[in-house]
Structure 1
Amino acid sequence: MLAIVCPGQGAQKPGFLSPWLELTGVREALASMSDAAGVDLIRHGTESDAETIRDTAVAQPLLVAAGITAADCLVGGDGFAAGTQADLLAGHSVGEVTAAALSGVLSTEDAMRLVAVRSRAMATAAAAEPTSMAAVVGGNREEVLAAIEQHGLAPANINSAAQVVAAGGAEQIKALIAEPPAKARVILLQVAGAFHTRYMAPARGELADFTAQVSVNDPLGQCPLVSNAGGEILTDGRRYLDLIVDQVASPVDWEACMRVFAQRGVTGILEIAPAGTLTGLAKRDLKGVALQNLNTPGDLDAATDFLNEHGENHFGESSDEVDPDKEN
């Protein structure tokens, strides 16, 4: 039972697209995605420094393009095929746009157009007033959530059993760092604003206007998508796209997605480039599940073997049917 997962903002690193450009057809594909997004993905993915690619309007298109590129190379030039070879498909935050492209819900062009609108709208909303985010690691979950609320903040990301990201006013974040919950560490994140909170409401409205005009499909094959909205399991493309829009100003519940993986009996998780963040969370919360990162072309052979081993439903082998009562 295979889950393919797509990382969110913060996973990007300077030069991380460089190795992929050595493969035939990648430069041309990235040039086409650059045109759709209005961002020079080749330059930013190979030459720009960490500060430049931290910019929301640059980071998000880069991440979606990287995921599509890696999936295309994995399955011989058709990223949609990667999605159909999985039993579950999910993305963290902007990674949901990547997942929508890999599943066939969105075309590559529309995915890049959507992430361009999303990233610019979120950057504009973030610039409206001083806001920030901080990861709260450890501590008792109820006490952590209570402390976040007491400081006038919101839990923007529920990443794992041991990590919640708080978001809100910059001064309130500073106060939380100065007065952390018992047995917890609070780490300031280098982000532009309070994403996935009420501060992003203007961005949500702009994205909703855009997606109303976008063609959407149901996921290809038999691979449901797992949403950041409480782990809702979806086979309807329009519903998935609506939740991607809502997600801009709503919490990302990745812990719920991992619970779905456990309930569905996932045996292997493949994280698409730039990989490592989500498999890192799974290593702590999903003991015994095999993990594979696809970061560079050098990982393609291992990733292919991983697909063959864990994607049984799509490689000519039979597996037990999923218990419908396990859906949440």
Structure 2
Amino acid sequence: MKTLRVRLNHTPMGPLAGFFLAEDRNYFADEGLEIEWSGARGASAAIADIRTGDYAAVYGDINSLTMLLSSLPEGTGPQAVFVAFNRTPLTVAVRADGPVQTPRDLIGKTLFGHPHDSARIFFPAYARASGFDVADVDIRDAQGSLGQLVRAMIEDKAGEGVFGFVNSTIASLSDMNSPHEANTRFLEYSTVLPDFYGNALVVTRALLETDPAAIQGLVRATSRGFRDAIRDPRAGIDAVMAHGADMSYAVNLRRFMGTLQREMSHPERERLGIGDVDQARLARSCEQVTVAMQLDRKVDAAELFSPAFLPALEERRFEPSAG
């Protein structure tokens, strides 16, 4: 058995069902792999963690990988090998009855978010695509869960927006038994940044150069796990709960179903299956990130993602269960 340390974007939760179902069904073991799992503090933080040298692979935001690669010599950094989210989950949560109805209504407003939050990090891209300057928005650090931040926004009028993921925010409110989901609306980045992808499995340059067979096994097992979890979401959540999820079964199931309906439901899924990308679309997203984030160099789509380790298309094309 070859041991791989894999850093996920979070501790066990609904959207990670594919990984934990693959673990419980011995799909990684079938590939001769033993996985040591750990969880980061978000999708962008997971990408940053790959630079520590402590992990063979991480699961995090592919746009953050673009930023990382731009700071490295071409061809020397990590690479995405399986893209799970074919639509970005990034959002700003606002009061449903508040003053923010369109992206440009954020001008002059105060937004709260964790410093490591991917939506906060890529807000310059959202602002640019929406036609305003990020400097015209007051962005402040925040502590506490997304649900707590949204509650403060609604009840205490603490700012006009909260950065996060759509389903993470809904799950956090549900976990608190908060009544404020009905009072919350989302400005989703996918509306103005339709070319953005989301979370991807990323491997180190060292693994790419020394053990491509291990990568192929890792990707094949992951793909099988996602396939099974999409076909049987409850089995996926059973696995998540068995690995120590913090939130309830119901909240994790809802969170996973929301992920399937939002982040994994782009129409290109029918053509490309799960895990692959449209190279032209990915190239456009690289350009958007490069310009908005003022990166040192533009990252080529082929440097960012390789489809070489994906199983055959027929093994990755399937329709989700109704739950």
> Which interval holds the TM-score relative to the shorter structure?
under 0.3
* TM-score w.r.t. length of structure 2: 0.28
Q: Higher RCO, 1 or 2 (CA under 8 Å, sep at least 6)?
A: 2
- Give the TM-score normalised by the residue count of structure 1: 0.28
